[in-house]
Amino acid sequence: MSGMIPKYYKRSRAKDSLVGNLFSFLNNFMNTKQTPEEKRRLEKVINKSYDVIEKSDYISRDLSWIKFDERVLDQARDNRRNIFDKLKFLAITASNLDEFFSIRVGSLYNYIDFGKERTDYSGLREIPFKKTLMVATQAFVEESLRLYREEIVPDFAENGFRIVNISELNNEETEQIVDYFSRTIYPMLTPMVFDHTHSFPSLLAKTLIFGVVTRSENERSENGKNENRKISFVQIPQNLKRFHIFEREDETLFVPIEEIIRHEIWKLYKNVEIEAVSLFRLTRNGDFDMVEHEDSETDFIDEIRKKIKDRRLGRVTRVEIESGCSEWMLEMMLKRWKIDKNGIFQSDNLLDFTAFWQIIKHPEFKSKQPLQKSSVPALGLNSQTPDNIFEAMSEGDILLHHPYNNFEPVLQLLEQAAEDPQVLAIKITLYRISKNSRIADALLHAAENGKHVSVLFEVKARFDEENNIREAQRLSKAGCFVIYGIPGLKTHTKLLQVIRNEGDRVKSYAHLSSGNYNEDTAKLYTDIGLLTTDEVLTRDISEFFNVITGHSQPHSYERLITAPRDMRKRLVEMIHNEADNAREGLPSGICLKINSLQDKITIDELYKASQSGVPVRLIVRGICCLRPQRKGLSDNITVRSIVGDFLEHTRIYYFHNNEEPKVYGGSADIMVRSFDRRIESLFEIHAENVKQQTIHILDWNLKDNVNAYEMQEDGSYKHCASPTECGMEPFDTQKKFFKVSMNEVMQAKLFEPVEEVLEEVLA
């Protein structure tokens, strides 16, 4: 490389372009980790890769994901946030990256290792794409480490704490550390040697591990020279806290457990020379396919448990290791785990930033945490918790917008149904529930009270499998009719139905949602939920439950759109309708708020709608494979992402429909998996007052100038200009939704009538 600047960086100096920002990092990366020949080859691959990426009409799903994590990392730069908030976002990005390497990179290795072909949306084949992806990820990690080292660590002391090494402790504290090691840590440590008489040990994923290189005076190689080296591994117990804490009069000290072990590790190696002690951490492939058995529930559960174990010991996809590690050990790792040098992530800081949660939650800093705003009653409810939820729902549809509205009405519906003698049955789909869930407890009580309880419990929810299996079996033992998911599909839809005998008739009460039945995440995720007794919608829900719990195929639904049945087809039809209206000069418009946009068929239809003159406004929090604002392709499409204190999880689909809007909420994103491999549902929001509330949510999301990022044609994102710099009032939706008025809701609109647009242009 020797000072050469990759041709793309000459062509575009945009700091945050999708691949352009890699090259400012690439020189340093190449100079420190690559041989001259490796540098030349990697430079050639990256330059050629960007030429392909630049021409593609689609953005790579995985490169887009990295851009999302960059937006999350951006929150840790925000000087409006205190140090604990910044650490929180560093911890979130670290957790996100763990999942990325476990699932997305794991999936990529499934193709590479088994010789299968794959072409990414960017147009790259699997090998050049992996190299491009690894360089992009190295750049992201490098920036995370720099941000922590240069901008966050210097603020620790003034906030009353420090992360320290043993050398920074006084004599009394050091004695306590040595005693803690001897009494608690030492008995739990097990050195595992690897040599010609010992097989390579099973090293767990996402666990801190010491690689210890030793020499022995008594062991000599065949040529008689004392060159015989051995490596052994010491896994740090996961059930011990990451930091040992000292409370001084004026500050709190956090001593990492790895530094305690490093200080005392010689006690594990008597009469041998320790040549090197290197801390590292592995990420393994967690992307497994489920072999499902329709004939045996036990086989199915056992298969899941086996796959969970496989995930812990799957193919290595990343090695995080401290700087200055043993090069001999590193070379051995590269050969053993068949990974390239760009799969090694070296750090001169703390490994695994998820450790910051222990600092954030330390009682000493509770008063310094941002205060959680109190939720407000949903419009249409007089209080957060109506005395009788059945009476409140009978008065009309209620839209819940979490966390601005409390999750309590949903819990009330279940808890009152469990005790109400008039309730005959409860049906629910569960995907992720909280620990010590009130949802599960209410279902248990309902079964104990003799009600029929049907639960479709998706035990294949990734990383929640063990908790879901445990809870599902508990419900089953209590007498609930539990279905452990559907063979070949994940049940992701969020539906709840309560059947109540009201004397002259049997009435159905329902809740449909974009989010999980989880009272913990309802405080952290933005979601919508609909409480309804609408007979048309509840009839659809009854039919849908018959399909997913029994053997039924209804001809059609009136207000539900379901997958894998017809969701993609129905959405494409509504996109076509908007395009037809635009061509005929009628008002048109599409506004979607989703988490991810990846389905190529739907993207192509949005491109065609844009070319027909349809204004398309997309609010996509995370992955977006659509390329906006490309001349002749997507001129009329804008994409924005909102990233702030809450995880934007709401899904709303709006089609202007010649000024008679069709609006849907639900659990599905525009993803291949959502349309083809999941049981999903979108529900039509029919009542005019509730429809207007969803329009208002979209309207305000498009006005946000504090948490919003605008996606550029090249796939990069630009943070909306600072309101104060532009002389604008800050419009922070994640604050404003806590004090919304009915008047503001009624004023909201998305696409101006044609006449109003013309008047505005003329004015």
- Residue 53: Cβ within 10 Å count: 24
- Residue 312: Cβ within 10 Å count: 14
User: Is the peptide bond between 36 and the residue preceding it cis, with omega within 30 degrees of 0?
Assistant: no
Backbone angles phi and psi of 271, in degrees to 5? 65, 25
Q: How far apart are the first and last CA of the chain?
A: 57
For residues 43 and 26, the answer to whether their CB atoms sit within 8 Å is yes
User: Is the peptide bond between 564 and the residue preceding it cis, with omega within 30 degrees of 0?
Assistant: yes
> Which of 212, 208, 279 has the alpha carbon at shortest distance from 240?
208
Q: Which residues of 224-233 are buried (b: 16+ CB within 10 A; e: fewer)?
A: eeeeebbbbb
Q: What does the block give as tokens for 233?
A: 């591994």
Q: Is 492 a catalytic residue?
A: yes
Helix (H, G, I), strand (E, B) or coil at 596: coil
User: How far apart are alpha carbons 714 and 629 in whole angstroms?
Assistant: 9
Please count the residues of the chain: 763
Q: Residue type for 536, please?
A: V
User: How far apart are alpha carbons 111 and 120 in whole angstroms?
Assistant: 12
Q: What does the block give as tokens for 151?
A: 């901008």
- Residue 570: Cβ within 10 Å count: 18
Ramachandran category for residue 364: left, alpha or beta (phi over 0 → left; psi -120 to 50 → alpha): alpha
Kindly give, in sequence order, each residue whose CB lies less than 8 Å from that of residue 270, ignoring residues fewer than 6 positions away. Answer: none
Q: In 493-612, which ranges are continuous DSSP H helix?
A: 535-549, 567-583, 600-611
User: How far apart are alpha carbons 427 and 393 in whole angstroms?
Assistant: 17
Measured CA angle at 592 (ends 590, 593), to 5 deg:
160
Measured CA angle at 597 (ends 680, 132), to 5 deg:
130
> Which of 297, 295, 282, 168 has the alpha carbon at shortest distance from 233?
282
What is Dmax (Cα atoms) for the chain?
97
Which helix (H) or strand (E) segment is 525 a member of? strand 525-532
Strands 344-347 and 316-322, sheet pairing: parallel
> Could you tell me which residues are beta bridge partners of residue 319?
282, 344
How many Cα neighbours within 13 Å face the side chain of 586? 11
- Residue 283: Cβ within 10 Å count: 23
Q: What does the block give as tokens for 710?
A: 């605008």
Measured CA angle at 257 (ends 252, 260), to 5 deg:
95
> Which of 237, 184, 229, 228 has the alpha carbon at shortest distance from 210?
237
User: How far apart are alpha carbons 405 and 523 in whole angstroms?
Assistant: 9
The per-type count for the chain, helices as H runs and strands as E runs, is 24, 27
Measured CA angle at 534 (ends 691, 751), to 5 deg:
15
Angle of the 438-448 helix axis to the 465-477 helix axis, nearest 10: 20
Strands 525-532 and 506-513, sheet pairing: antiparallel
User: How far apart are alpha carbons 180 and 127 in whole angstroms?
Assistant: 48
Give the burial class of 322: count Cβ atoms within 10 A of its Cβ; 0-12 exposed, 13-18 middle, 19 or more buried: middle
Q: Which listed residue (401, 402, 492, 511) is catalytic?
A: 492
User: Active-site residues: which are they?
Assistant: 492
